[in-house]
Amino acid sequence: MNPTHRFEVDAPARLDILVARALDISRTRAATLIATGRVEVDGRPERASFVAPAGAHVAADVPAPESREVIPEDIPVSVVYEDDDLLVVDKAAGMVVHPAPGNWTGTLVNALRGRGQSLAPGGGEERAGLVHRLDKETSGLMIVAKTERAHRILSTAIAGRRVARRYAVLCWGHLDGDLVTVDRPIARDPRDRRRMAATPAGRPARTDFHRLARFASTDLLRAHLHTGRTHQIRVHLASIGHPVAGDDAYGGGGARRLVGLPPRRHFLHAAWLRFRHPVTNVEMDIRSPLPRDLRTSLEAASEMADLIAHPDPLEYLGFYRVDG
């Protein structure tokens, strides 16, 4: 059975625009759903150009995407924890998480399949085992479920904000204070579907930013996700005028040379995970030091000999303090 998405119209707008926003899909796909009779407004099919009034109830019957066989590949992947129920990988920058148009091979899921890995069915063959995701150029820790039970419990824990995910991020410029919370909804950017944007029409999104160090032109931050929207940290920092260093998509690319980042790399690393094991209920605390390219960048940005000499600069700066 195909999932049916229902929502109420807040303000009058074209039906294709409303459906695209509500389902976080392209306007073209929304128009296709409407044209094939999969969308109704107050129980009646309408055209894509129909302007739905405020208070109208929209129901969209969305067919599940066709699954495609995932080819196992012999690709190195760093596994930092593993048992019968789950594993935690330390994803390298440049690796796409799951197969999709334009990236059917070379992904983390292909690599896990190449290990002969048992993975929870999850969201289909292409997303098997995935509990959450990281952007291609973001490095760091990801939880992968091996069993359906583990996947269900971990997904519920993330939705209930019981999985603590902390990111190390270098932003351009200086925040207004040592603790800044950005609470702005996020949706697909209507001008560029490859980007996201902070907009009142989006889904709720909240990120806490703790400043760990202030350098000449940048701040090193610890980011705490309360929600898990696509590009959330990058969009939220860009929305307050302090994009992630090296982030070409959201305005931080000009800082790359200044802080010694390699091409296409942005300074964002999923460095710390804390969660309860889905079966044993044991408290898990898993950490990932900055990879070599980000340590080199931190050295260029900070010019602090004591910081760079420490085995783990994040620990030196108090990144792992348990304070929320």
pLDDT, tens digit (0-9, with 9 covering 90-100), for 280-315: 999 999 999 999 999 999 999 998 878 888 889 999
Do the domain assignments include residue 284? no
Among 159, 179, 200, identify where a domain stops: 159
The owner of tokens 């701040």 is 219
Entry pTM: 0.80
Q: Which residues does 270 contact at the CB level (< 8 Å), separation at least 6? A: 91, 134, 138, 139, 140, 141, 142, 165, 166, 167, 288
227 and 301 assigned to the same domain = yes
What is the spatial distance between Cα 210 and Cα 189, in angstroms, rounded to a whole number?
27
Strand partners, 225: 207
Please state, in angstroms and as integers, the Cα–Cα distance from residue 208 to each residue in 75, 169, 175, 236, 272, following that order.
35, 12, 12, 10, 15
In a shared domain, residues 103 and 117: yes
**pLDDT recorded at residue 306:** 82
Flag whether 188 is in a domain.
yes
Q: What is the count of structural domains for the chain?
A: 3
Q: Domain of 40?
A: 4-61
Task: List, for the chain, all residue ranges whose pLDDT scores fall below the cut of 50.
Answer: 1
Compute the Cα dihedral for 308, 304, 218, 222 and give only its sign: positive
Residues 8 and 88 in one domain: no
Exposed/middle/buried for 66, CB within 10 Å: 0-12, 13-18, 19+?
A: exposed
| CATH, residue 42 | 3.10.290.10
Please indicate, yes or no, if residue 279 is contained in any of the structural domains: no
Any domain includes 275: no
Domain boundary among 136, 159, 182: 159
CATH code at 88?
3.30.2350.10
Residue 176 resides in a domain: yes
Does residue 260 sit in the same domain as residue 227? yes
**In 3D, which of 128, 210, 130, 219 has the Cα closest to residue 173?**
219
Same domain, yes or no: 306 and 259: yes
Asked if the structure places residue 108 within a domain, the reply is: yes
As given in the structure block, the two tokens for residue 248 are 């070409």
Amino acid in the structure at residue 74: D
Query: Where is the domain boundary, 34, 61, 88?
Result: 61
Q: Could you tell me if 153 and 168 lie in one domain?
A: no
Q: What is the pLDDT of residues 58-93, one digit of tens each?
A: 999 887 655 567 889 999 999 999 999 999 999 999
Residues 248 and 131 in one domain: no
Is there a single domain that holds both residue 182 and residue 303?
Answer: yes
Q: Residue 2's pLDDT is what?
A: 56
Number of neighbours of residue 167 by Cβ within 10 angstroms = 24
Pair 263, 229: CB distance under 8 Å: no
pLDDT of residue 67: 58
Q: Are residues 41 and 27 in the same domain?
A: yes
Is residue 144 domain-resident? Answer: yes
Kindly give the residue spans of alpha helices, DSSP state H, lying in the chain.
Answer: 15-23, 27-35, 108-114, 148-159, 232-239, 292-302, 305-309, 313-316
Residue 44 located in a structural domain: yes
Length of the chain: 324
**What pLDDT was estimated at residue 1?**
43
Q: What is the spatial distance between Cα 163 and Cα 159, in angstroms, rounded to a whole number?
A: 9
Catalytic residue among 90, 135, 208, 293: 135
**Residue 194 has what pLDDT?**
82
Residues 6+ apart with CB under 8 A from 257: none
**221 Cβ contact partners less than 8 Å away, ≥ 6 residues apart:** 168, 169, 170, 171, 175, 209, 210, 211, 212
Q: What are phi and psi of 316, to 5 degrees?
A: -55, -35
If asked whether residues 139 and 227 sit together in one domain, one would say: no
Whether 135 is catalytic is yes
> Is the distance from CB of 131 to CB of 155 less than 8 angstroms?
yes
53 and 17 share one domain: yes
Do 116 and 198 belong together in one domain? Answer: no
